[in-house]
Chains A and B, each alone.
Chain A
Amino acid sequence: MNVPTDLKYTKSHEWVRVEGDIATIGITDHAQSELGDIVFVDLPNVGRALNAEESFGTVESVKTASDLYSPVSGEVVEANPALSTQSELVNTDPYLGGWMIKVRMSQPDQVAALMDPASYQASLD
């Protein structure tokens, strides 16, 4: 499984890319592989306030529907518009084209508590 070394991870298989106070959030290669072909992604509106570990949407595959959890608190500043018609991007390009939301973090120190790539990789083995 592909676990990029420049990201942070959650137990519920989301990844976070931090640039300044903006956190970009998606689901991991492992998560998309377990879910199977993704057919629908339900994302929040821009402006929604999220608490860490709060559900921000759902991802639906041919097998199941799963909640998506925000790793950090903050305000949604962007949701990936491509996923409304190309949900398969989450399968084919989970870390770049398949990103889900961008959050302006209200508590950036929450990032330190997330899993680093080595511990996420270890949790999969």
Chain B
Amino acid sequence: MPMKQVPQPISIFEKGSPGRMGANLPETDAPEVDLQAALGDLRDDLHLPELGELEVLRHFTNLSHINYGIETGFYPLGSCTMKYNPKINEATAGLPGFRAIHPMQPVETAPGAFEVLAQVQEILCEVAGFDEITLQPLAGAHGELTCLMLIKAYHDSRGEGAQRKYVLIPDSAHGTNPASAAACGYEVKSVPTDAHGNTDLEALRGMVNNEVAALMITNPSTLGLFEPNIKEICDLLHSVGAQVFCDGANMNAMVGTTRPGDHGFDCMHFNLHKTFSTPHGGGGPGCGAIGLMKHLEPFLPIPVIRRASNGKVQLETARPLSIGRVSAFYGQFLMEVRALTYLLAYGRQKMRNISRFAVLNANYVKARLRDVLPAAHDRHCMHECVLTATRYKKGGVRALDISKRLIDYGFHPPTNYFPLIVPEAIMIEPTETETKETLDAFCDAMIAICKEAEESPELLHGAPSTQIVGRLDEAAAVKNLDVRWIHPSRREKAPVSG
């Protein structure tokens, strides 16, 4: 196993030498001005770095070497779909006709851009089985919130706004679901999960009545399991006039194989930055398109982008029932260019390979790790598997220790302690873009670490030991947040943080 010690990087402010510079400036041909006279007292304690070009280049190149991302290694962070984003996405997003347009320029000067938006909408409609798509929401939780706003507007339009007070959410849900419901003014009720990892139907029946506005449900669930009763669940909610929202975080398990719109959902959100390979992490920006059925269409946020019968794409803003604007312009435009590139690169015939390989890879990992880390629910999983590390707890090893040790083996850790209903949860989402060799190397590392957990737990408790930082004190990081770097020459004078 590689045990490379990485040297501690020195900040760029501590490098260089006074007067050194990377640019060779010509003699000035303008009259010199006395800055002190022109501007008053000037600070002379800025400690700006003074370096040559090669030093700067080496500094940032070396920093990039201690970064970790999908382009340096396997990134099985469950629930996040850290798939590889093909480089062709960047090529199209960099085309000057897309890159150089401005949101304030006249609409009629950017027909190509609106054609891109219309095509993304049309393809997502077909992929997910909805009547309408809007690309306006700027991130996943924003998409959830927009769906809830549509549902609220729908109930209001039927005179049932005051009557419908509750939103039901399974106890396995992402925390953003109850937050979106609460932001919309709803009271949240938690639906339990049964012993098989499905929504507890009996409990749900007891909670469904005409005071319920909606059920927000993730399918496949955050346990990585497909909800087999989804049709019955949707019918149950509809029987009392409630709506069903699909959290599309796990759409990668369904692309090209099955369609949420066919399951009975009224609306859903997509994470283009998960499922459709737009950049993810580091600020993305995220992209939270939503799909909806016809009865919610009158409430769509404006502007609505529509293809007219003559094939031309138009913007509609005069829509009296609209919930209004949810973003300043038309969504994250260059992300839509990337998503369209990805969708067209796969094409209609091959798109199902996304979900097939995502599901196959997760089941392969689950099967290979069965003897050391059993699944929380022993049945076929979808695009991710949720394993439990409870058997190592007696020896003092927790799921977090296993994940930290994985860093020493050169892999990004999986998600820990989510969903909350699984004790010592380790949630692994390999995605479809990994080879069998990579999956095997990861599984070999996990099996070796589980052996260490039994034989030499101190190796796990001390992990990671090969990185520029060791185990972080997460409690101190939260309680004593310190994000300001102070130059060494000023540290003694600086006020104590905390």
A residues sitting closer than 8 Å to B (CB atoms) are 34, 36-40, 62-64, 87-88
A-B pairs with CB below 8 Å: how many?
19
The contact of A88 among B400, B474, B475, by CB within 8 Å, is B475
B residues sitting closer than 8 Å to A (CB atoms) are 400, 416-417, 420, 423, 474-475, 478-479
Query: For A37, what are the chain B residues with a Cβ–Cβ distance below 8 Å?
Result: 474-475
Check A62/B474 contact, CB under 8 A, given A39-B479, A87-B479: yes
Expressed in whole angstroms, the minimum distance between the Cβ of B123 and any Cβ of chain A is 37
Q: A38-B475, A39-B478, A40-B478 are in contact. List 6 more A-B contacts (CB 8 A).
A: A37-B474, A39-B479, A40-B479, A62-B474, A64-B417, A87-B479
Query: For A34, what are the chain B residues with a Cβ–Cβ distance below 8 Å?
Result: 423
Query: For B478, what are the chain A residues with a Cβ–Cβ distance below 8 Å?
Result: 39-40, 62
Question: Complex Cα distance A87/B479, Å?
Answer: 9
Question: Complex Cα distance A40/B477, Å?
Answer: 12
Return 8 A-B CB contacts under 8 Å, by A number.
A36-B400, A37-B474, A37-B475, A39-B475, A40-B479, A62-B475, A63-B417, A64-B420
User: Which 4 pairs across A and B sit closest by C-beta, in order of nearness?
Assistant: A37-B475, A62-B474, A39-B478, A63-B417
Query: For B416, what are the chain A residues with a Cβ–Cβ distance below 8 Å?
Result: 63
Query: For A63, what are the chain B residues with a Cβ–Cβ distance below 8 Å?
Result: 416-417
The chain A residue sitting closest to B399, CB to CB, is A63
Query: For A87, what are the chain B residues with a Cβ–Cβ distance below 8 Å?
Result: 479
Question: Complex Cα distance A63/B419, Å?
Answer: 11
Most central of B400, B416, B423, B478 by chain A CB within 10 Å: B478
Question: Complex Cα distance A64/B175, Å?
Answer: 10
Question: Complex Cα distance A36/B479, Å?
Answer: 14
Query: For B479, what are the chain A residues with a Cβ–Cβ distance below 8 Å?
Result: 39-40, 87
Question: Complex Cα distance A88/B476, Å?
Answer: 10
The chain A residue sitting closest to B474, CB to CB, is A62
Expressed in whole angstroms, the minimum distance between the Cβ of A24 and any Cβ of chain B is 25
Query: For A36, what are the chain B residues with a Cβ–Cβ distance below 8 Å?
Result: 400
The chain A residue sitting closest to B475, CB to CB, is A37
Expressed in whole angstroms, the minimum distance between the Cβ of B153 and any Cβ of chain A is 29
The chain A residue sitting closest to B416, CB to CB, is A63
Question: Complex Cα distance A53/B101, Å?
Answer: 57
Expressed in whole angstroms, the minimum distance between the Cβ of A42 and any Cβ of chain B is 14
Query: For A40, what are the chain B residues with a Cβ–Cβ distance below 8 Å?
Result: 478-479
Query: For A62, what are the chain B residues with a Cβ–Cβ distance below 8 Å?
Result: 474-475, 478
Query: For B400, what are the chain A residues with a Cβ–Cβ distance below 8 Å?
Result: 36
Question: Complex Cα distance A110/B274, Å?
Answer: 49
Expressed in whole angstroms, the minimum distance between the Cβ of A39 and any Cβ of chain B is 4
Query: For B417, what are the chain A residues with a Cβ–Cβ distance below 8 Å?
Result: 63-64
Query: For B420, what are the chain A residues with a Cβ–Cβ distance below 8 Å?
Result: 64
The chain B residue sitting closest to A65, CB to CB, is B175
Expressed in whole angstroms, the minimum distance between the Cβ of A76 and any Cβ of chain B is 22
Query: For B474, what are the chain A residues with a Cβ–Cβ distance below 8 Å?
Result: 37, 62
Expressed in whole angstroms, the minimum distance between the Cβ of A66 and any Cβ of chain B is 9
Question: Complex Cα distance A40/B474, Å?
Answer: 13
Question: Complex Cα distance A5/B475, Å?
Answer: 31
Question: Complex Cα distance A37/B420, Å?
Answer: 16
The chain B residue sitting closest to A64, CB to CB, is B420
Most central of A63, A64, A87 by chain B CB within 10 Å: A63
Expressed in whole angstroms, the minimum distance between the Cβ of A84 and any Cβ of chain B is 11
Question: Complex Cα distance A88/B478, Å?
Answer: 12
Question: Complex Cα distance A87/B476, Å?
Answer: 11
Expressed in whole angstroms, the minimum distance between the Cβ of B468 and any Cβ of chain A is 21
Question: Complex Cα distance A57/B417, Å?
Answer: 22
Expressed in whole angstroms, the minimum distance between the Cβ of A41 and any Cβ of chain B is 12
Query: For A38, what are the chain B residues with a Cβ–Cβ distance below 8 Å?
Result: 475
Most central of B416, B423, B474, B475 by chain A CB within 10 Å: B475
Question: Complex Cα distance A40/B479, Å?
Answer: 8
Question: Complex Cα distance A118/B474, Å?
Answer: 34
The chain A residue sitting closest to B417, CB to CB, is A63
Question: Complex Cα distance A81/B400, Å?
Answer: 31
Expressed in whole angstroms, the minimum distance between the Cβ of B404 and any Cβ of chain A is 13
The chain A residue sitting closest to B424, CB to CB, is A34
Question: Complex Cα distance A88/B417, Å?
Answer: 20
The chain A residue sitting closest to B473, CB to CB, is A37
Query: For B423, what are the chain A residues with a Cβ–Cβ distance below 8 Å?
Result: 34
The chain B residue sitting closest to A66, CB to CB, is B420
Question: Complex Cα distance A64/B421, Å?
Answer: 12
Question: Complex Cα distance A36/B420, Å?
Answer: 13
Question: Complex Cα distance A40/B420, Å?
Answer: 19
Query: For A64, what are the chain B residues with a Cβ–Cβ distance below 8 Å?
Result: 417, 420
